[in-house]
Each structure stands twice: as C-alpha cells, then as structure tokens.
Chains A and B, each alone.
Chain A
Amino acid sequence: MAIAEDTVKTGPLRESIGMPRLHKVIFLVLLGLALLLPYGVYPVFAMKVMCFALFAYAFNLLLGFGGLLSFGHAAYFGGASYVAAHAAKVWGLTPELSILAGTVAAALLGLVIGALSIRRQGIYFAMVTLAFAQMVYFFALQVPFTGGEDGIQSVPRGDLFGLISLRSNMALYYFVLAITFGGILLIYRIVHSPFGQVLKAIRENEPRAISLGYQVNRYKLIVFTLSAALAGLAGATKSQVFQLASLTDVHWAMSGEVVLMTLLGGMGTVFGPIVGAAVIVTMQNYLATFGAWVTVIQGAIFVISVLLFREGIVGVISKWLKRPL
C-alpha cells in the first residue's frame, strides 16, 4: 500500500490514475450546459433532472461499483426528503441545514438497514432491502409528522446561510446545481480512490478479496451508508425544490425507477446514471398525460434493457468509442 501510494504521488503513474482527460472534458461540457440550461428549459424541470441524476449516481455507487442491488433506495431518498421538509417547515432551519439534516438521517437509516441487509447476498439482499424500504413506507404512512397521504406541503424555501434568498427558481437552480455537481464529483472521487478499487475487487470476486485480508463486510457497509446518504442528499434537495415531501418518494415504485435509470444509462459507467435519469425524467414529463401507460412503458424499457441492452446507453457508446465512460 505505502509503496503504491508513493508512486502515485511522485511517479509517472499519477496521470493515469487521476481523472482521464476525456472525463474532465465531458464533466466541463456538462457543467457548461447545466449553467445555461435554465435559460432554455423550465428551471424546476431541470432541477428535477439534477436531483434524480444525483440519486441515480448514488445508486450506481452501490450497484455499479459495489455490485449490490438494493431494491429499497426510495427509503433513503424519501426518508431524507421528509426530514428535510420537516426541518425547514417546523424547525425553521435554513435550506443548507435542512438538507444536511435529511442527509444525516438517510445516512443513519442506511447504516442500520445496511448492517442488517449485508448479512445476505445476491437475490436475498435485493429482497431484504425492498422489505425494509416497505417498512419505512408503512412508517411514513402512519406516523403523524409525515402528514400521511397529504405529505408535508408548502415547505418554505428560505435563505441560504440565512443570507441569500432561494425563493426565485433561478437562485435555487444554481444552488441545486452546486449540490448535484459536488455530490457527483464526490462519488467519482470515491469510486476512483483505493477504497473504490477494493470495492471493485469485492464485486468481481468476493472470496478472493476476503482471502487477501479485506474486511469485506466493513467495505460493503461503508459503501451502503455512503450511497444511502447521497441518495438522501438528492431526496432532501428535491423536497426543497418542490416544497413537498410525499409518499411517492418512499414508495417501492421509486426504488424501481432509480434501478431503471441506472440500468438504462449503464450500470457501472461514469456518465450512465446521469443520462438514464435525464431520459426517464424527460419521458415522464412528456407522457404525464397518459396515466398508467407510463408504468407500462417503464416496464417495457426494463424488459428491453435486460434482454437486449444490458450495457445501457453509455455502455454502448463507451464500447463504440473503445474508451471507458
């Protein structure tokens, strides 16, 4: 370990281990586009895309790099959105503190559920996470502070750090952009850190990682908690954007949606979840009037992706360009 780190700091390897130039260029282009986006499309829609992009990105950290399929990520997304909405509305906290409160709550929830769930692998892991998320859903349905079927409505947007008003959509947009971009770069950094390399080793061959002396369960728990916290960050931010926390965000359908976004964009790719989230949210937006057909179409995308298109959109492009994206 020590030797490898020294080489990284001083040797010629450093360039190849840092962010590849292609990724840098794409991130800069995305940032440039995102800065101009609210002049082209409705800012609330753009913010919705960004919240889901961060959500899917956090989910991909767990699935794409940790190899763990959680079918209950709505619990952290929606749970955090309730806590953040409650903090802003009832406790009167500023937006950044409300979002922080939601994120911390999601991290704690992820820590507890993760510690139990990683005791089973594969298919059982997926079922356990789904069942726990359903428990969170019932909890949200019954406890008084979530407002049951109504949810927490008209959450005030407030002033950032108590100074900058976020009541206009434009101001809020750049705040959300900063959170999303910061979150995504953080996850990128985690994936490309030594910790991320161990995660990939566990994903590829768990018994071997154990035999090499890694505390596999500790790594899994850490990545689960991180993923839950960042999914929570996305959900908490969404509650500030829509000024609403509702049962939709904790429902199992939401857990399915984030799986779909990641699968469609490309599991384990760098840009896949962003693309997947953008496609799915845009589709929902345009098909909103078709009611239950949206569910049918989402199901069809699932089936097609699994049968014919397992690399996802970005995975296919990446294979085409012969570069990891």
Chain B
Amino acid sequence: MFELLGVPPQVLMGQLLLGLINGSFYAVLSLGLAVIFGLLNIINFAHGAQYMMGAFAAWMLLTYVGVGYWPALIVAPLVVGAIGIVLERLMLARLYHLDHLYGLLLTFGLALIIQGLFRNYYGISGLPYQIPASLSGGYNLGFMFLPTYRGWVVVASVIVCFATWFIIEKTKLGAYLRAATENPVLVGAFGINVPRMITLTYGFGVALAGFAGVLAAPIYSVNPNMGADLIIVVFAVVVIGGMGSIMGAILTGYGLGLVEGLTRVFYPEGSAVVIFVIMAIVLLFRPEGLFGRAG
C-alpha cells in the first residue's frame, strides 16, 4: 500500500472515519441549535445537557425497562423533546420579549441543574451501553476495517440531517416555519398558531440533541459531563458556519469533523484546538460565518 506524507493509509483512514463520526455529532447538534435559533432567536445552552439526557434515556430504557436500542432510538428523543417542550412552555416562553441574552443565561442555568442532578445520581465515571447485536462486528474494506456501528452513526446522522433539511426547505410546514422566522406577526395574522409552532420547534431541536445522544451512547460511555465540553465545540462550529442556513450548519459540522480528524494525524497536539483556530480565522476574514448572511 502507498503512504501519504509518511502516514500509513490505515491510520489516515481510521482518523478520517473518527473525524467523520465526530462531524456527525457536530452536524446533528449544530443543526438543532440552528433550527432553534432560527425561530426562537435564542442559543440553547442546554443542548449539551439534552444530548446527555438522550444517552441516559437510552441507558435507562435498557437498564430499568429492558427496552433495546432500536425502540430507544425513537422513544428517547421523544422523551427528551417532551421535556424540552415543558421547559419552553414554563420558562423560555416568558423571555421572548426580553434581550436574547436572557435565554442564553436561562438555558445555561438549566444545563447546570440537569448535569448536576445526573452527577449526583450516576457519578462521573460513566456507564457502559452495549452496541446492539444487529450492528456489532464490522467490514473489512481492504484499505481499512469499518466497525458497523460507526458506519451506522454516519448513515443515521446523514439521514436525519437530510430529512430535517427537506422538511424545512421543501415542505409546506417548513415554509410556514421560514415565514415565521422572517415575520412572526404577519404569519400569525394569517391564522397560523405561531406560539405553538415555536414550542414544537424547540421540542424538535431538543429531540435532535436527544437523538444524537442515543447514537453516542454505545460509542462514548454514558456520563453526565459528555455534553458539556462538546457543546462548546459545537458553538464554535455554529460561529464558523453561521446559523442562517440549515445546509450550512450540516456541511460545516461534517467538514470540521474531518478537519479535526486530519489534524489528529498530522499534528496531534493541535487537534483539541483546531476548530477554535479556524473560528479565529473565519472571524478575521468573514465575521458573518461561512454560510451566514451579513448584517
């Protein structure tokens, strides 16, 4: 086999796959943030905590109720999304008339509460979650070994991202949503229940985070802090991509995951900060973000 810049292809491909998987999580999470931001104009700081709740929901379903991976993939996001809807109705809805920064502060507080509660009951050591039998094992692609579950994560995230994009950009419901993003008062005047749409949108964004959490459960150990550091990287992803475009959020997520993987091959020390460095460069040359609209 050939070598690229002194790096064996197995190593390169392995890291690229790892990058693609990280990118899948970046994409699904930043997509959720972008969907929420589009309509609610708030940044959901609790997104990382809700991602963690998704993973815990899957673990609890398996441990306490005996419900396996596939049902959990549907049920856990619904549960987490429902909790999100309750939070929106009880708390966030009271803040829409205020400066958007209050939404950020509120969701930050919620994230602290959620993470603190889970830390109290489950510690920080992490709980194992088995890869489902139907997705265990792997394929030998000749140039590398592909664990089935990791391939599935990439496929599942692409499907969810594409479906979300399709709903928002190509369906009538999405048209209402985009119209409400532009001018909620006018859309309300046409007889559309905008507050309910806002609530459901928040629930949907949160459910996306929960879905990512279930996907992550078998790869990373399920622990209360799993979302806390991830969400900060996702914020940087969102700043780089700009939240104006759904497709932009998705592409930036996968792209930055791959860049991070490549960095891990060629300059491992820089892999933790490469996304932040890219953010600095983007701020310097295109402050509105790669896919953002100026102003």
Contact = CB atoms under 8 A, between A and B. Distances in A.
Interface of A: 69, 71, 116-117, 119-120, 122-124, 126-128, 130-132, 134-135, 138-139, 141-142, 252, 256, 259, 263, 291-296, 298-303, 305-307, 310
8 contacts: A119-B287, A123-B37, A135-B276, A139-B273, A142-B269, A252-B232, A295-B119, A302-B109
Contacts of A295: 112-113, 115-116, 119
A127 B239 contact: yes
Nearest to B272: A138
A296 B116 contact: yes
Interface residues of B, number: 44
A291 to B, nearest CB: 7
A256 B112 contact: yes
Contacts of A116: 280, 283-284
Nearest to B236: A131
Nearest to B117: A296
A296 B110 CA distance: 9
B102 interface: yes
B87 to A, nearest CB: 10
A302 B116 CA distance: 13
Interface in B216-251: 228-229, 232-233, 235-236, 238-239
B186 interface: no
Contacts of A302: 105-106, 108-109, 112
B236 A127 contact: yes
B42 interface: yes
B101 A126 contact: yes
Given A130-B232, A130-B235, A293-B120, A306 B106 contact: yes
A310 B110 CA distance: 16
Contacts, number: 124
Query: At the interface, is chain A mostly helix, strand, loop or mixed?
Result: helix
Closest 7 CB pairs of A and B: A302-B109, A299-B112, A295-B116, A299-B113, A296-B116, A135-B276, A292-B119
Contacts of B106: 302-303, 306-307
Contacts of B113: 295-296, 299-300, 303
Contacts of B13: none
B55 interface: no
Interface string B72-112: 00000000000000000001001100101110111011111
B52 interface: no
Task: Name which of A138, A139, A293 has the most chain B CB atoms within 10 A of its CB.
Answer: A138
B273 A135 contact: yes
A130 B230 CA distance: 12
Interface in B262-295: 269, 272-273, 276-277, 279-280, 283-284, 287
A131 B102 CA distance: 19
B206 interface: no
A305 B279 CA distance: 32
B107 to A, nearest CB: 9
Contacts of A294: 116
B43 interface: yes
